[in-house]
Chain A
Amino acid sequence: MAKMDKKWVLLCSTAIAGVYAAGFFSTETQATQVESQPHAPIAIQTKVEKSSVVSLKSNEPKRIYKEGTFTGTGENRRGYIQVAVTIKKDKITDVEISDFGMHYSEDDVIGLPDEVVKQQSAQVSNVSGATYSTQAFEDAVQEALSQAHNA
């Protein structure tokens, strides 16, 4: 059979080229685009019911949140975590995680003969798996947001 996957490889490489050809990803304009394409408006939510979600209009003169970067902390099954949430014009533009690391020790590798484990597991710092959600970071993000809240 002919190599069918050629078509898909080509589609992927033209997709990347398409972005660059359109000039959407150039160094000069990068800084301004960061500001102009933030996350969705922040809605305050209480995790209880839909009706409590309040969408904000970004053109409102009085802002709900202060601008800048605010930190929040939390704990999840992987340990202590800290997040830095950046807010511009009542929108979350960036959420950076610090003090966070997944660690897979030798004991974590199962289903492999011992010798293989010894050889291979030492440098496994990346794991492929079903995409895990950011649920574990919610509390930390909420804490950062509450710090940013205008009185």
Chain B
Amino acid sequence: MKKTKLFMDTVVEIQIVLRETTSKEEAEAKIDRAFEAFRKVEQSCSRFSSDSELMNVCRVMDNPVKISPFLFEPLKFALEIAKLTDGEFDPTIGKVMEEQGYNRHYLTGEIMESPSADSVTYRDIVLDEQNRTLFLKKPLVVDLGAVAKGFAIDLAANELKDFEGFVVNAGGDLFAGGVDGNGHPWKIGIQHPERKNQIIDVIEISNESICTSGSYERRNAKLPGMHHIVNPKTGQSPNDWVSCSIIAPFAMMADAFSTTVFLLGRERGKELIENMELKGLFIRSDLQIDRMGGI
């Protein structure tokens, strides 16, 4: 059984392997709950709609605001990655992205022009674990583009974990649970960076996520050589890699680290993968493939 919906400006496909004993209605209800995770995370974390929880709380400047776990958790994760990389990955990149043209809601056409201080970093965001509040030291735009989708995939996967096999695929970032219809681990193709509708390799996973950051989709329409991954320190798009895929137990982790490795470039990216004992497949601009972590 398979259902496809649009969320977070991408195509989210959920498929489950049905046993003969599973009722169709029950399966469909579960799939709907899984999609509900995407709806909630999007409504909480989107910087593309003025009535999302994120955009609402970012308008409050003077005091800490209580936020829902759908926003708190991915934001906390993003801040941890920012600390790890000393700000080379930084969720306060939102205003820069807005200015570079990544500012339009994919369904409503709403264009965002948000207030922001000129110079902001992740240190301007204060999360209070005890009270579950957010406090901004300066006006800024938070971009959770590298974590929110992963988090939604993880929540959706959690709703589907009782099925013998399922895949939650959000536009190429996915979690594959259990086994496929033939009882084998799921075979996942890796998109070829230059040839649409072709794959460059195949991996097998079960109860794991694979997320890919690449420079070949969402290129900047106005600025040549730029794409949707931007280094906050240089304002430039890194181009050491054309594609970074990370395999991890959780999609939020694979999502965040694929973006981070893309940002760090070849040498420091590899160092991070080794230190973290991550698994992944990385493609250079000449299409040479580096495999790491024994895949």
Interface residues of A (CB under 8 A from B): 1, 3-5, 8-9, 11-16, 18-19, 21-22, 24-25, 27, 30, 33-34, 37-45, 47, 50, 53, 55, 77-78, 83, 92-98, 100, 102, 104, 108-112, 116, 120-121, 123-135, 137-138, 141
* Distance to closest chain B CB from A21 (angstroms): 8
Decide: A19 near B155, CB < 8 A? Known: A24-B40, A25-B40, A97-B4.
yes
B189 contacts across to A, CB distance below 8 A: 104, 109, 121, 124, 126-128
Cross-interface CB contact of B108 among A41, A50, A109, cutoff 8 Å: A41
Residues 201-230 of B, flagged 1 when their CB comes within 8 A of A and 0 if not, give: 110000000111111111000000000000
- The answer to whether B10 touches A131, judged by C-beta atoms less than 8 angstroms apart, is yes
Q: B residues within 8 A CB of A141?
A: 6, 107
Given A25-B37, A39-B108, A95-B107, decide whether A9 and B199 contact each other with a Cβ distance below 8 A.
no
A15 to B217, CA, bound (A): 29
- Contacts A19-B69, A21-B69, A129-B216 known; 16 new A-B pairs at CB < 8 A: A8-B80, A8-B248, A27-B33, A42-B108, A77-B196, A92-B107, A95-B6, A97-B4, A98-B4, A109-B189, A121-B189, A128-B188, A131-B10, A131-B173, A132-B10, A132-B171
* Chain B residues within 8 Å of chain A by Cβ, number: 90
Q: Are B199 and A127 in contact (CB under 8 A)?
A: yes
B134 interfacial contact with A, CB 8 Å: no
**Which secondary structure characterizes the binding site on chain A?**
mixed
Residues of A within 8 A of B184 (CB): 123
A47 to B189, CA, bound (A): 34
Q: Are A130 and B154 in contact (CB under 8 A)?
A: no
Within B244-272, the residues touching A (CB, 8 Å) are: 245, 248-250, 252-253, 257
Say how far B172's CB is from chain A's closest CB, in angstroms. 4
A9 adjacent to B110 (CB under 8 Å): no
Q: Which of B151, B199, B213, B289 makes the CB contact (< 8 A) with A104?
A: B199
Give the total number of A-B pairs whose CB atoms are below 8 A apart. 244
Residues on B with beta carbons closer than 8 Å to the beta carbon of A50 = 111
A85–B39 alpha-carbon span in the complex (Å)? 14
User: If the complex has contacts A95-B107, A124-B189, A127-B188, are A108 and B250 also in contact, measured as CB distance less than 8 A?
Assistant: no
Write the nearest CB–CB distance from A132 to chain B, whole angstroms: 5
Evaluate whether A126 and B169 lie within 8 angstroms (CB atoms) in the complex, with A3-B277, A24-B68, A97-B6 already known.
yes
> CB-CB < 8 A to B252: which residues of A?
12, 15
Contact A133 B9 (CB under 8 A): yes
Q: Which of A1, A5, A42, A104 is most buried by chain B, counting CB atoms within 10 A of its CB?
A: A5
| Contact (Cβ within 8 A) B49 A39 | yes
Contact for A11 among B76, B191, B216, CB less than 8 A = B76
Partner of A43, one of B108, B202, B250, B289: B108
Given contacts A37-B40, A132-B171, contact A19 B70 (CB under 8 A): yes
Question: Given A39-B49, A130-B214, A130-B217, is A12 in contact with B109 using a C-beta cutoff of 8 Å?
Answer: no
Residues of B contacting A: mostly = mixed
Question: For residue A126, which residues in chain B have a CB less than 8 angstroms away from its CB?
Answer: 167, 169, 174, 176, 186-189
What are 28 A-B contacts with C-beta separation under 8 Å?
A: A14-B73, A19-B69, A30-B36, A77-B197, A95-B5, A100-B4, A108-B197, A108-B198, A109-B199, A109-B202, A110-B195, A110-B198, A120-B202, A121-B189, A126-B169, A127-B172, A128-B212, A128-B245, A129-B172, A129-B191, A130-B172, A131-B149, A131-B217, A132-B171, A133-B171, A133-B218, A134-B106, A137-B6
| Distance of A98 Cα from B13 Cα, bound (Å) | 11
CA distance A102 to B196 in the complex (A): 11
